Amino acid sequence: MMVIRPIRSSDYDSLHDIAVESGIGFTSLPVNEELLRNKIASSEASFSAEVSEPGEQSYLFVMEDGESGTAVGTSGIQAAVGLDDAFYHYHLSKVAHVSRELNVSNLVEILTFCNDYTGVTEICTLFLREKARKGSNGRLLSKFRFLFLQEHQHRFAKTVIAEMRGVSDDKGNSPFWRWLEEHFFSMDFPTADYLTGIGQKVFIAELMPKYPIYVSLLSKEAQAVIGKVHEKTRPALQLLQSEGFCCRGYVDIFDAGPTVEADLQHIRTARISRRLPIRIGDAQDALTNMVINTRVEDFRGVATPLLVDESKQEAIISSQAASALNLVDGDMVRFAPLKIKG
């Protein structure tokens, strides 16, 4: 059984392997020992902190293989982005150029440099190792976060976003960045991506064009990838869209990948989730649910058959699942179907 839990310092080697496998373009996991260890330490502090409102907390989870005890994937939640470090985007919009005298009207697209998402919650750092990509592992690793957000709402903002990886090739070359590099940065995409990942973002404010960019002035290759996702990211985007996330025109400043957003109360899994005490029993033929305990520092999450006894208002799960969640009879869980029909 796969178990979701908070990352620990002993997971460093596994996290490093995940970072290496994630490759160029996965900004939130730079292959840098100091940065990775700092991420772990920051997460441990966040899980143990008493929180009354969202702040600089960064929660990093791992998916642990119950048989081997090793972490095979990771996903995270940033409580409020942009508070201690600028959080940049381009916003894609349209302006009309009109001359009534000449009877000419042109609607053109522009990209405007902005910090509009400052203070919102971000779900981030989602990566599952190739060897673990089977069954519903990927779905669980992504969607359990909506249960955690719903259970601990005071720790997070009302708006939740996710940055989607944009188009780049196997060598990390981004068509969108290639145009920016040529005109403004003189720095290749892997270098810019790495510097951002290790927190060195000053160069963005110093070198990024300050005025809106007319999309028609970009290369055809750059125009073609604005708002598009990397082929390996399409399943993740489709999953978020099925949960109610949508893009409102914000794209990444490096690869132009879309940022999607949703109000927490409108996220499908969060909205339909239930909170009940458990009873350990036979639920073998029941529908598979994502189930989390209601704790923070001792958080656990699994995918397991769960049967609801409506008359007693109890959730019935197996002893194996209860053990994985560190629960006994009467403890509370939050749960939702792993696959939602319709």
30 and 148 in a common domain? yes
163 and 58 in a common domain? yes
Sort 171 into a burial class: Cβ within 10 Å, 0-12 / 13-18 / 19+.
exposed
- The answer to whether position 220 is within a domain reads yes
pLDDT (0 to 100) of residue 182: 81
226 and 288 in a common domain? no
Question: Residues 208-234: pLDDT tens digits?
Answer: 777 899 999 999 999 999 999 998 889
123 and 178 in a common domain? yes
Catalytic residue list: 230
The C-alpha torsion from 136 through 137 and 142 to 147, rounded to 10°, is 80
SS (H, E, C) the chain: CEEEEECCHHHHHHHHHHHHHHCCCCCCCCCCHHHHHHHHHHHHHHHHCCCCCCCCCEEEEEEEECCCCCEEEEEEEECCCCCCCCCCEEEEEEEEEEECCCCEEEEEEEEEEECCCCCCEEEEEEEECHHHCCCCHHHHHHHHHHHHHHHCHHHCCCEEEEECCCCCCCCCCCHHHHHHHHHHHCCCHHHHHHHHHCCCCHHHHHHCCCCCEEHHHCCHHHHHHCCCCCHHHHHHHHHHHHCCCEEEEEECCCCCCEEEEEEHHHCHHHHHCEEEEEEECCCCCCCEEEEEECCCCCCCEEEEECEEECCCCEEEECHHHHHHCCCCCCCEEEEEECCCCC
Per-residue pLDDT band for 195 (boundaries 50, 70, 90) equals: low
Residues of the domain holding 82: 2-88+116-268
- The answer to whether position 108 is within a domain reads no
Mean pLDDT on 71-91: 92
Sign of the dihedral through C-alpha 266, 272, 278, 280: negative
Question: Residues 164-187: pLDDT tens digits?
Answer: 989 988 777 889 988 888 887 767
Mean pLDDT on 60-79: 93
Element (H, E) at 59: strand 58-65
Total-model pTM: 0.90
Sign of the dihedral through C-alpha 294, 8, 160, 167: negative
144 and 121 in a common domain? yes
Mean pLDDT on 6-34: 86
pLDDT (0 to 100) of residue 228: 96
253 and 126 in a common domain? yes
- Residue predicted with more confidence, 188 or 335: 335
pLDDT at 285 over 60: yes
Residue 337: left if φ>0, alpha if ψ -120 to 50, beta else—which one? beta
- Between CA 85 and CA 142 the distance in angstroms is 25
307 and 224 in a common domain? no
pLDDT at 105 over 80: yes
Any idea what the CATH number is for the domain that residue 312 is in? 2.40.40.20
pLDDT at 19 over 80: yes
248 and 281 in a common domain? no
pLDDT (0 to 100) of residue 26: 66
pLDDT (0 to 100) of residue 17: 93
Per-residue pLDDT band for 197 (boundaries 50, 70, 90) equals: low
Domain termination site, one of 242, 268, 294: 268
Domain termination site, one of 240, 268, 296: 268
314 and 199 in a common domain? no
Percentage of the chain beyond pLDDT 70 is 94
Mean pLDDT on 269-294: 95
Question: Residues 115-170: pLDDT tens digits?
Answer: 999 999 999 999 999 999 999 999 999 999 999 999 999 999 999 999 998 998 87
Per-residue pLDDT band for 339 (boundaries 50, 70, 90) equals: confident
pLDDT (0 to 100) of residue 201: 62
